[in-house]
Amino acid sequence: MATPVRPTEKAGSAPRSGREPGRWAGLAARLRPRATFARHALLALVALVVVVLLLELTGPFRNSQFATMSYYAIAAAGLTVLTGLNGQISLGHGALMAVGAYTAGLLLPAGIPLLVVLVIAAGVTAVVGVIVGAAASRLKGPYLAGATLAFAVAVPGLAIHFDEALGGEQGLAVPSPRAPEWFADAVYFLSANETSSAKYLAYVGWTVAIVAFLLLANLAASRIGRIWRAVRDDEVAAELAGIRLSPVRVLAFTVSAACAGLAGGVLGVVVRLAAPTGFTIVLSISLLTAVVLGGLGSLFGAVLGSALLVFLPPAVTNLGASAGLSDVQSAQLAPFVYGAVLILVILLAPGGVVGTVRARWHARTTAPAEAPEERTGRS
């Protein structure tokens, strides 16, 4: 597979170095790795400022929506790295989020600090990811999709079977941590706002998200990221170049699973519940919708996609209600739109939002004759 994906870091630098060859290009090339990481750090800082502005300028309802968006964004980022950069599809990411959420639900009541719990949730899920990834590393396309689908359907059954520890159908209540004093003081100092629980959780979620994005962006720009893309684009060539495919695939799956676990942990504290009904196939497919719509392989696309998952359901539900549908029926409009979006994006704009915008941009800035080449990234 290879949907027309371009690594994020190329967007800015490629045209520039293309235009002034010679001395400066050589210098730029030598400085490039460090410049890339510095740019990522700068972007993270900008993102943090944007998050603070958004959270301080909006009320508790929006704050809780942003909290929800943070865990979707983390999970989608993990999935976009797996599918976009390494070419593996996973329908199991909803189930992997369940692992993170249940881990948080089991550890938080023991009085372990939230950040430690989140790290453990990511770690435990990464271990599950190693196992699933190892089983999946030899599989491709539909086989991989089917196997991860089977995984996604199997995991909620475990929660029901071991109901004494995991709460069965009802699920596991996850205590929601309170904002520490210093945090509330800091927010008050900054904006004279009181810190609601939703706001605290949104800050936690987005801080975690920004750190995760920073790590993923650096990983994608590093040698490992290049190897992932090499395996995605042409396995045979990668193998001939001395890359062993299985460990590469397992690593990608593990990193991706760790993100899902982290996201699951955040979900647990935001929703205050880890229950089997929260982690259905539809969750996995919504994540897939988010990354496909945003543009496979693009971290920024993952943020766009997760915004869709948060802000679309209330919008279409209202639309449905005003069209005379019942609440239950209106609630189903969101998954219907997800499905339609998946189909339409693949058929009409396989690059997703980011890929399509980038292709338009390239078509305008480079010679028109080169434009059609954008759509041929398939093997």
Q: Which is nearer to another protein, 159 or 269 (CB)?
A: 159
Binding of residue 110 to another protein (CB under 8 A): no
Among residues 55, 81, 89, 214, the one that binds another protein under rule CB under 8 A: 89
Among residues 193, 207, 280, 356, the one that binds another protein under rule CB under 8 A: 280
DSSP strand pairing (273-274 vs 172-173)? antiparallel
Binding of residue 165 to another protein (CB under 8 A): no
Rounded-to-integer distance, Cα 322 and Cα 166, Å: 39
Q: How far is the CB of 249 from another protein (least distance, A)?
A: 14
Binding of residue 370 to another protein (CB under 8 A): no
What is the DSSP code (8-state) at residue 324? T
Residues pairing with 173 in the sheet? 273
Number of residues that bind another protein (CB under 8 A): 51
Q: Which is nearer to another protein, 138 or 360 (CB)?
A: 138
In the range 295-334, which residues lie near another protein by CB under 8 A?
325, 328-329, 332-334
Rounded-to-integer distance, Cα 292 and Cα 26, Å: 36
Among residues 119, 147, 186, 215, the one that binds another protein under rule CB under 8 A: 147
Among residues 225, 305, 350, 352, the one that binds another protein under rule CB under 8 A: 350
What sections of the chain are H helices per DSSP? 10-19, 23-57, 60-80, 86, 93-107, 114-136, 141-161, 163-166, 181-191, 197-221, 223-233, 235-240, 245-271, 281-294, 299-322, 327-331, 333-348, 352-365
Question: How far are the Cα atoms of 1, 144, 237, 379 from residue 241, in angstroms, in the given order?
Answer: 19, 25, 6, 18
Here the tokens at position 157 are: 């059954």
Q: Which is nearer to another protein, 146 or 247 (CB)?
A: 146
Q: List the x/- string, 126-145, binding to another protein by CB under 8 A.
A: ---------x--xxxxxx-x
Binding of residue 170 to another protein (CB under 8 A): no
Binding of residue 28 to another protein (CB under 8 A): no
301 neighbors 83 (Cβ within 8 angstroms): no
Rounded-to-integer distance, Cα 288 and Cα 220, Å: 19
Rounded-to-integer distance, Cα 324 and Cα 336, Å: 17
- Residue numbers of the site for another protein (CB under 8 A)? 1, 3, 83, 87, 89, 91, 135, 138-143, 145-147, 149-151, 153-154, 157-158, 160-161, 280-282, 285, 288-289, 292, 325, 328-329, 332-336, 338-343, 346-347, 350, 378-379
